[in-house]
């Protein structure tokens, strides 16, 4: 599904040049659950952003589902993104002015899903995530765990092929974190590919492969124990 | 999707109430002004829209070129011009001449009424969209001495009787038989008349009133006829104007022009451009001058742009609060255009709500505005109909678009990465300088308004206290309304409340004007001099002093005009020497009237203060007296007026006494100055309110964003006073810059405004001070409301939340 060759990302300011990704070669197959770990500033999030087509690479190739997407225009990237990718963030990033229901519905408005189908999908997901009773609440009225469940529901409502999760449990207590990880595992077992950045070894082991990064480079790749 | 946009927009408005209030209220205030102006302008363009093929109808105008240079444009043209254009060229489909020679007092039975009439022919009904409810348009104006009445005048004369076939009499003009009644006009028109007489009556009238001279073959009289033509299809205005030039060349080749004129140019004015249109001499009817429309539109544009700018400024300043939403939406697949639409929708929602509020404010403004005199003068009515409502809606959407475009552009440009990388603290919109410039302009404009308000207020006060040099107090002016001077005078002289009487042609101290060409020696260059016809009692009644010579002799039976009185300025202007020297000298008035200077009056202001003191010519001709000045001595004015009415009734049974207190009449001259003052006051109020709202928004925002800094400073020992100074300093500098920018501009505009007054107040520092004081007071109050609260707040709240 994902194949990068010599993928690099360099941030330049007037005085400093920072190499966030240094010739990363990486391959992720459909159905995988890959966790990315590493110390702060090692380039994990940059990798996620570039693979999520939120940021463009400075060099190298990035093939997504067989197509070179590294050098696409913003409009085309946006198009690929909305049909194939779902995002989960550490800080949830729900829109405060929209209710739970409306937040989950939002991605489908941009992919022009008919109203009746939108309703059905949102309700199914909210039932599944056990937050149906909160459908008319605003994000600030929910607990962190509930907000992240809404964010996950929003990420998968368009049935993406790949979910990119940036420390999805970083702002949650262990019980809520566990719950979110279980949902992600469940989605993976149903066929969704997941790429997750995390600091937690515990969470990383929900996946089937762990990539460790340092100074913008992939230093090790290991299969998680049970997949050895 | 739209539903989603609306939801987010309304929830955002609700969640940020103070900013929403500033935005909506600010826009509403300025919109209410604009709605008013839209109504005025819309109404002003409703004149003469009901005529058939009106796009091909033109009025022929005269540009009279003067010998001394310069030219004056007239709405009238020589009568034969229209005739020649129609008969000698094939461009004109229909020609309707309108001749102003039917203004007279007509009698039927015991009814006597003044009629404003025009002479015309059957083509009138062809060119214009007026219809007859009685009579045949093809024949009603054919026979000499036929008259067609408007329905109103028909009712005034004949109440419920059938007017057709009845006869209206006038001693001078003759008898006119009513041959038709016009249906109520389908819309507003610049044409003003109570009756239409047949053009074929003109010969007879000219024979009866030989003073008026002939019109029909007279190329030198460009004052008496309005020539209207409808061009044939396909004939351009330019083509017809070329024909006019040709006609003019041939017609004036061997003619002596009027003494002051060097030549004439004729041109066509489209019917649709008459009202509103340029100000022309001899123009008929009311309607708003184009200039006034531009003036009001410009003022409202300033106010609405100021309010739009507040929205733009505040929304951009607060853009970071929306960064997360933009980022999330973009990640979900929103395009920049979709986001642009979303933020424009928000601006439209705000402007829509502002429109509702503005509409309510408008209901309160209309009654206030309706009191302004110029609405009456210009025949403008403030009425709401579907077209105006559609304009309101269109306007509100445009405002939303203008106010929302820049924020929408800025917001939709946010990159999704910004939220992922938590760049919320980055300055995404760096043009703080631009914001400051705009804030300064808002305050500068407000200050200019305030200073102009001071200027007009002081000038009005000055003008009101101005000494006219004649004593208008306790004088009641009575309009003779065509009644015999001697009869009316005899009645009033018996009235115990009347202590003195005098007569005059038209009133001094008002805009009423008359000028006559005067030569001080035969063959000299004629110059226009203001003239009034007075009786022998006028000088003593009005308290005007003679400095040399004698007053007019009492000679109401005079058949030939003999004498003139002049003022000192007259002697100075014509270099005639001392008052004593000039007595007995003759002057030539008009073409050939020779008058002997019998006396010299001291200089006094006989025109409103906008006129400089000029030479004055006082003449004696009982036929010209139109007004009686009655000086009253009474402690009970209402009773005195009732007794005057009783005296008048003995002379004229059908018309009521037409009177006015002279001092009030003089004061009414300033009505337009009052109007200008109120309009400026209104706009100044709006301007400063909006500017303060903008300042308030910026102060709230800056205090919010500096909350942490304020708290830290407090914790390390800053006193509230220091904090207030810190927070206010920047704004005070902006206000000071605004004042520096506004002062020269208001000096220039103020001086220009006063330019139109020959007698005026000086532009000094006292004129600027009140405006500056108000500006700083309101500015400080606005900023203070926020800074004081921040300076005295509990620092722990902000540090904890951080």
Contacts of B2 in chain A (CB under 8 A): none
The answer to whether A38 and A12 are in contact (CB under 8 A) is no
Displacement of CA B564 from its chain's centroid (Å): 37
Compute the nearest-CA separation of A228 from chain B (Å): 34
B11 vs A82, A97, A106: nearest CB: A97
Contacts of A9 in chain B (CB under 8 A): none
A106 vs B324, B332, B335: nearest CB: B332
B145: alpha, beta or left, given left = phi > 0 and alpha = psi -120 to 50? left
Q: Collect all residues with Cβ–Cβ distance below 8 Å to B188 and sequence separation of at least 6.
A: B46, B47, B48, B49, B379
The partner residues of B600 in beta bridges, in order of sequence, read B548, B566
Share of chain A above pLDDT 90, in %: 40
How far are the Cα atoms of A26, A29, B452 from residue B668, in angstroms, in the given order?
90, 91, 21
Q: With CB atoms and an 8 Å threshold, state whether B324 touches A75.
A: no
What is the number of other CB atoms lying within 10 angstroms of the CB of residue B776? 17
What's the N-to-C CA distance of chain B in angstroms? 35
Indicate the angle between helix axes B432-465 and B290-317, nearest 10 degrees.
Answer: 140
Displacement of CA B348 from its chain's centroid (Å): 34
Contacts of B325 in chain A (CB under 8 A): 95-97
What is the pairing mode between strands B174-182 and B146-150?
parallel
- Chain A residues with at least one Cβ partner in B under 8 Å: 45, 49, 52, 54-55, 74-75, 78-79, 81-83, 87, 89, 93-98, 102, 106-107, 109-111, 154, 166
What is the number of other CB atoms lying within 10 angstroms of the CB of residue A85? 25
Closest-approach residue (CA) in chain A for B327? A93
Contacts of B341 in chain A (CB under 8 A): none
The answer to whether B331 and B414 are in contact (CB under 8 A) is no
Compute the nearest-CA separation of B799 from chain A (Å): 21
Contacts of B330 in chain A (CB under 8 A): 78
User: Distance between CA atoms of B551 and B553, rounded to whole angstroms?
Assistant: 6
Which among A118, A117, A186, A173 has a CA at the least distance from the CA of A146?
A: A173
The partner residues of B77 in beta bridges, in order of sequence, read B225
Q: What is the pLDDT of residue B426?
A: 46
Stated as kind and residue range, the H or E segment containing A68 is strand A67-68
Q: With CB atoms and an 8 Å threshold, state whether B334 touches A110.
A: yes
Retrieve residue B30's tokens. Answer: 């300025």
Compute the nearest-CA separation of A86 from chain B (Å): 8
Retrieve residue B437's tokens. Answer: 């410039």
As a whole number of Å, the CA-based R_g of chain A is 17
The answer to whether B498 and B631 are in contact (CB under 8 A) is yes
Place of tokens 């300064």: B440
Q: With CB atoms and an 8 Å threshold, state whether B420 touches A111.
A: no
Q: What is the pLDDT of residue B361?
A: 92
Helix-strand-coil split of chain B, %, nearest 5: 50, 20, 30
Contacts of A96 in chain B (CB under 8 A): 15, 325
Q: What is the pLDDT of residue B802?
A: 36
A97 vs B1, B15, B331: nearest CB: B15
A13: alpha, beta or left, given left = phi > 0 and alpha = psi -120 to 50? beta
Place of tokens 């489909």: B93
User: Distance between CA atoms of B429 and B409, rounded to whole angstroms?
Assistant: 11
> Which of B13, B322, B325, B328 best tests the A interface by mutation, with the highest count of A CBs <10 A?
B328
Closest-approach residue (CA) in chain A for B421? A45
Retrieve residue B480's tokens. Answer: 């003779």
User: Distance between CA atoms of B745 and B761, rounded to whole angstroms?
Assistant: 18
B324 vs A74, A93, A106: nearest CB: A93
DSSP conformational letter for B273: G
How far are the Cα atoms of A30, B44, B377, B395, B684 from residue B384, in angstroms, in the given order?
66, 13, 20, 15, 26
Q: Collect all residues with Cβ–Cβ distance below 8 Å to B42 and sequence separation of at least 6.
A: B387, B388, B391
What is the number of other CB atoms lying within 10 angstroms of the CB of residue B800? 9
Q: What is the pLDDT of residue B490?
A: 92
Q: What is the pLDDT of residue A227?
A: 62
Q: With CB atoms and an 8 Å threshold, state whether B8 touches A98.
A: yes
Q: With CB atoms and an 8 Å threshold, state whether B1 touches A109.
A: yes
> Which of A109, A137, A140, A162 best tests the B interface by mutation, with the highest count of B CBs <10 A?
A109
pTM for the whole structure: 0.74
Q: Collect all residues with Cβ–Cβ distance below 8 Å to A61 and sequence separation of at least 6.
A: A3, A4, A5, A6, A7, A68, A70
Q: What is the pLDDT of residue A132?
A: 93
Closest-approach residue (CA) in chain B for A98? B8
Burial of B207 (0-12, 13-18, 19+ CB in 10 A): exposed
User: Distance between CA atoms of B85 and B91, rounded to whole angstroms?
Assistant: 8
Q: What is the pLDDT of residue B160?
A: 83
- Chain B residues with at least one Cβ partner in A under 8 Å: 1, 4, 7-8, 11-12, 15, 324-325, 327-336, 338, 416-417, 419-421
Q: What is the DSSP string of B69-118?
A: S-EEEES-B-HHHHHHHHHHSS-EEEEEEEE----EEEEETTEEEEE-EE
Q: Collect all residues with Cβ–Cβ distance below 8 Å to B227 and sequence separation of at least 6.
A: B59, B60, B77, B79, B81, B82, B85, B95, B97, B98
What is the number of other CB atoms lying within 10 angstroms of the CB of residue B460? 16
Q: With CB atoms and an 8 Å threshold, state whether A107 touches B8.
A: no
Contacts of A111 in chain B (CB under 8 A): 333
The answer to whether B549 and B583 are in contact (CB under 8 A) is yes
Contacts of A54 in chain B (CB under 8 A): 331, 416-417, 420
A147-151 mean pLDDT = 90
Helix-strand-coil split of chain A, %, nearest 5: 40, 30, 35
Which among B164, B104, B171 has a CA at the least distance from the CA of B134?
A: B164
Q: Collect all residues with Cβ–Cβ distance below 8 Å to A73 and sequence separation of at least 6.
A: none
Indicate the angle between helix axes A74-84 and B323-332, nearest 10 degrees.
Answer: 70
How far are the Cα atoms of B43, B116, B673, B754, B794 from residue B676, in angstroms, in the given order?
20, 31, 5, 13, 50
Stated as kind and residue range, the H or E segment containing A217 is strand A217-223
Q: What is the pLDDT of residue B295?
A: 84
Burial of B540 (0-12, 13-18, 19+ CB in 10 A): middle
User: Distance between CA atoms of A210 and A194, rounded to whole angstroms?
Assistant: 12
Q: With CB atoms and an 8 Å threshold, state whether B329 touches A45.
A: no
Q: With CB atoms and an 8 Å threshold, state whether A110 touches B419.
A: no
Q: What angle do CA B127, B132, B133 make, to 5 degrees?
A: 160
Place of tokens 């004949």: B158
Weakest-pLDDT range from A40-49, A208-217, B321-330: B321-330
Four-point Cα dihedral B49, B50, B51, B52, nearest 10: 110
User: Distance between CA atoms of B762 and B802, rounded to whole angstroms?
Assistant: 58
Q: Which is more confidently placed, B794 or A206? A: A206
Which among B792, B637, B778 has a CA at the least distance from the CA of B694?
A: B778
Q: What is the pLDDT of residue A33?
A: 93
Closest-approach residue (CA) in chain A for B15? A97
Q: Where are the alpha helices (DSSP H) in B285-335?
A: 290-317, 323-332
What's the N-to-C CA distance of chain A in angstroms? 22
Residues of chain B with pLDDT below 50 are 423-429, 801-802
The answer to whether B37 and B296 are in contact (CB under 8 A) is yes
Q: Collect all residues with Cβ–Cβ distance below 8 Å to B567 and sequence separation of at least 6.
A: B600, B601, B602, B603, B604, B615, B616
Q: With CB atoms and an 8 Å threshold, state whether B333 touches A107.
A: yes
Give tens-digit pLDDT for B548-600: 999 999 887 777 889 999 999 999 999 999 999 999 999 999 878 899 999 99
The residue length of chain B stands at 802
Q: What is this model's ipTM?
A: 0.82
Closest-approach residue (CA) in chain A for B11? A97
A27-33 mean pLDDT = 91
User: Distance between CA atoms of B695 and B700, rounded to whole angstroms?
Assistant: 9
Compute the nearest-CA separation of B400 from chain A (Å): 21
At residue B726, the 3 state secondary structure works out as helix
Q: With CB atoms and an 8 Å threshold, state whether A54 touches B416.
A: yes
Phi, psi of B690 (to 5 degrees): -65, -40
The residue length of chain A stands at 228
Contacts of B20 in chain A (CB under 8 A): none
B417 vs A55, A95, A111: nearest CB: A55
């Amino acid at each position: 599904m994902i194949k990068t060759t010599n993928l690099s990302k360099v941030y330049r300011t007037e005085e400093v040049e920072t190499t966030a990704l240094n010739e990363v070669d990486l391959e992720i197959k459909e159905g995988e659950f890959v966790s990315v770990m590493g110390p702060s500033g090692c380039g994990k999030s940059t990798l996620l952003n570039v693979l999520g087509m939120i940021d463009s690479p400075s060099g190298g190739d990035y093939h997504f589902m067989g197509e070179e997407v590294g050098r696409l225009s913003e409009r085309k990237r946006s198009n690929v993104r909305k049909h194939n990718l779902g995002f989960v963030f550490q800080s949830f990033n729900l829109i405060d002015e929209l209710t739970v229901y409306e937040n989950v519905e939002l991605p489908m408005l941009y992919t022009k899903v008919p109203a009746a189908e939108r309703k059905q999908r949102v309700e199914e997901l909210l039932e599944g995530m056990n937050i149906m009773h909160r459908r008319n609440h605003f994000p600030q009225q929910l607990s962190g765990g509930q907000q992240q469940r809404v964010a996950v529901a929003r990420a998968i409502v368009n049935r993406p092929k790949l979910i990119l999760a940036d420390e999805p449990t970083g702002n949650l207590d262990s019980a809520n974190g566990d719950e979110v990880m279980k949902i992600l595992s469940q989605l993976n077992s149903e066929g969704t590919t997941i790429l997750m950045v995390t600091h937690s070894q515990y969470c990383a082991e929900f996946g089937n492969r762990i990539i460790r990064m340092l100074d913008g480079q992939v230093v090790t790749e290991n299969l998680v124990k049970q997949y050895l | 999707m739209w539903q989603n946009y609306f939801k987010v927009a309304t929830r955002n408005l609700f969640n940020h109430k103070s900013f929403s209030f500033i935005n909506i209220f600010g826009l509403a205030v300025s919109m209410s002004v604009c709605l008013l102006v839209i109504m005025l302008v819309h109404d002003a363009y409703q004149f003469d829209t009901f005529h058939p093929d009106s796009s091909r109808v033109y009025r022929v105008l005269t540009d009279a070129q003067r010998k001394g240079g310069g030219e004056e444009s007239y709405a009238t043209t020589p009568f034969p011009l229209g005739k020649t254009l129609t008969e000698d060229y094939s461009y004109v489909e229909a020609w309707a001449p309108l001749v102003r020679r039917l203004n007279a007092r007509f009698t039927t039975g015991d009814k006597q009424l003044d009629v404003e009439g025009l002479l015309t022919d059957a083509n009138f009904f062809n060119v214009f969209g007026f219809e007859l409810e009685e009579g045949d348009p093809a024949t009603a104006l054919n026979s000499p001495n036929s008259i067609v009445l408007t329905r109103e005048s028909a009712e005034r004369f004949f109440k419920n009787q059938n007017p057709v076939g009845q006869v209206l009499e006038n001693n001078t003009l003759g008898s006119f038989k009513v041959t038709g009644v016009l249906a109520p006009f389908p819309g507003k028109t610049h044409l003003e008349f109570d009756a239409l007489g047949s053009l074929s009556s003109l010969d007879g009238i000219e024979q009866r009133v030989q003073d008026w001279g002939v019109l029909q073959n007279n190329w030198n009289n460009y004052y008496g006829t309005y020539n209207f033509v409808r061009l044939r299809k396909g004939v351009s205005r330019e083509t017809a104007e070329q024909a006019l030039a040709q006609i003019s060349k041939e017609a004036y080749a061997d003619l002596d022009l009027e003494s002051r004129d060097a030549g004439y140019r004729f041109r066509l004015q489209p019917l649709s451009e008459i009202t509103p249109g340029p100000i022309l001499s001899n123009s008929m009817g009311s309607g708003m001058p184009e200039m006034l429309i531009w003036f009001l539109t410009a003022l409202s544009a300033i106010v609405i742009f100021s309010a739009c700018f507040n929205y733009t400024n505040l929304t951009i300043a607060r853009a970071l609060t929306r960064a997360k939403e933009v980022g999330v939406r973009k990640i979900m697949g929103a395009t920049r255009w979709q986001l642009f639409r979303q933020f424009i929708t928000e601006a439209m929602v705000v402007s829509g709500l502002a429109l509702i509020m503005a509409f309510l404010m408008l209901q309160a403004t209309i009654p206030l505005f309706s009191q302004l005199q110029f609405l009456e003068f210009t025949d403008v009515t403030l009425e709401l109909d579907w077209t105006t409502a559609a304009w309101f809606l269109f306007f509100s959407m445009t405002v939303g678009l203008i106010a929302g475009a820049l924020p929408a552009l800025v917001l939709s440009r946010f990159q999704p990465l910004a939220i992922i990388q938590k760049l919320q603290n980055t300055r995404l919109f760096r043009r703080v300088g631009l914001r400051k410039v705009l804030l300064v302009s808002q305050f500068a404009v407000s200050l200019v308004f305030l200073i102009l308000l001071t200027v007009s207020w002081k000038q009005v006060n000055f003008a009101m206290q101005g000494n006219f040099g004649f004593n208008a107090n306790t004088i009641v002016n009575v309009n003779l309304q065509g009644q015999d001077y001697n009869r009316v005078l005899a009645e009033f002289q018996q009235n115990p409340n009347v202590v003195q009487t005098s007569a005059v042609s038209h009133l001094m101290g008002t805009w009423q004007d008359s000028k006559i060409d005067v030569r001080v020696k035969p063959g000299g260059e004629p110059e226009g001099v203001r003239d009034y016809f007075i009786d022998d009692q006028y000088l003593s009644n009005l308290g005007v002093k003679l400095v040399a010579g004698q007053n007019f002799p009492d000679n109401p039976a005079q058949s030939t005009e003999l004498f003139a009185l002049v003022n000192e300025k007259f002697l100075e202007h014509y270099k005639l020497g001392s008052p004593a020297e000039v007595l007995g000298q003759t002057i030539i008035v008009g073409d050939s009237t020779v008058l002997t200077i019998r006396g010299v009056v001291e200089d006094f202001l006989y025109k409103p203060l906008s006129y400089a003191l000029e030479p004055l010519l006082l003449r004696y001709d009982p036929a010209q007296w139109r007004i009686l000045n009655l000086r009253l001595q009474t402690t009970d004015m209402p009773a005195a007026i009732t007794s005057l009415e009783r005296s008048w009734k003995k002379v004229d049974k059908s018309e009521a006494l037409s009177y006015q207190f002279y001092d009030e009449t003089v004061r009414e001259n300033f009505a337009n100055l009052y109007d200008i003052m109120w309009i400026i006051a209104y706009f100044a109020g709006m301007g400063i309110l909006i500017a303060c709202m903008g300042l308030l928004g910026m102060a709230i925002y800056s205090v919010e964003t500096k909350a942490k800094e304020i708290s830290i400073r407090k914790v390390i020992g800053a006193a509230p006073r220091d904090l207030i100074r810190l927070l206010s300093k920047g704004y005070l500098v902006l206000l000071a810059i605004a004042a520096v920018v506004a002062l020269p501009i208001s000096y220039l505009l103020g001086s220009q405004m006063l330019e139109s007054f020959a007698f005026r107040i000086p532009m000094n520092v006292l004129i600027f001070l009140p405006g500056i004081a108000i500006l700083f007071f309101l500015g400080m109050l606005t900023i203070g409301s926020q800074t004081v609260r921040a300076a005295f707040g509990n620092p722990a709240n902000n540090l904890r939340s951080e």
